[in-house]
A and B are shown apart, each in its own frame.
Chain A
Amino acid sequence: EIVLTQSPGTLSLSPGERATLSCRASQTVSSTYLAWYQQKSGQAPRLLMYGASSRATGIPDRFSGSGSGTDFTLIISRLEPEDFAVYYCQQYRSSPWTFGQGTKVEIK
């Protein structure tokens, strides 16, 4: 099983600031199979990024993803009020599909 470890656990930032979220895998994950999801309180997760760096439909370009091998990053260039949420990385290279434990981006 591929274990994904996200850091930090919580990120306290102000609107307009830059957010950098990290996801580290216990073994190599092809960048093709790394996704990021956003989950707001009381809502279902929403796909943000797939293939590590491709934005899903309707996702604004302030969201960007990068990485390869075991280290991946999600950057939100300028936080908007609606971006405060929990973010999960996921590998979908092989079963069992696994998620990181999440990073909460909260308003400072």
Chain B
Amino acid sequence: QVQLVESGGGVVQPGTSLRLSCAASGLTFSIYGLHWVRQAPGKGLEWVAVIWGNGVTKDYGDSVQGRFTISRDNSKNTLYLQMNSLRVEDTAVYYCATDAGGAAFDYWGQGTLVTVSS
């Protein structure tokens, strides 16, 4: 079965960097679009970024544009999110999710918590 496992979360200070990973199994990784979605404590879902199968086409939400970089390694079945210049408001659980192409997000990981605090 499809499994997505996020890692890399933790407690960091404002202005610093962190890289999240999402390891996938049970699917043909390279054909899927992959999204990062975050959820601040007690809040709703916010789309962060997407990367398509070729690894070239990417898009970002306005709140992270220019600070976060999404990437993927199809040889390792792994998705990444490089987060730079972190802000307190980036504190959230970060989920990765799959997209079969113009489709809803059919598989989700369990999430990894990022806390940005001084």
List residues of chain A with CB under 8 Å of any chain B CB.
33, 35, 37, 39, 43-47, 50-51, 56, 88, 90, 92, 95-102
Q: Are B47 and A99 in contact (CB under 8 A)?
A: yes
Report Cα–Cα, A99/B105, bound state, in Å: 12
* Contact between A92 and B108, CB atoms less than 8 A apart: no
A104 to chain B, nearest CB (A): 11
Tell me, in angstroms, the Cα distance from A51 to B106 when the chains sit together.
Answer: 12
Q: How far is the CB of B5 from chain A (nearest CB, A)?
A: 11
Among the listed A39, A50, A96, A100, which residue makes an inter-chain contact with B104, where contact means beta carbons less than 8 Å apart?
A50
Q: List 15 A-B contacts (CB under 8 A).
A: A35-B105, A37-B45, A39-B45, A44-B95, A45-B108, A47-B104, A47-B108, A50-B104, A56-B106, A90-B104, A96-B47, A97-B35, A97-B50, A100-B44, A101-B44
**Residues of B at under 8 Å CB distance from A?**
35, 37, 44-47, 50, 59, 61-62, 95, 99, 102-106, 108-111
B95 touches A96 (CB 8 A): no
Report whether A46 and B44 are in contact in the complex, using a CB–CB cutoff of 8 Å. no
Least distance between B64 CB and chain A CB atoms (Å): 11
Cβ-defined contact, A44 with B47, below 8 A? no
Nearest chain A residue, comparing its CB with the CB of B109? A44
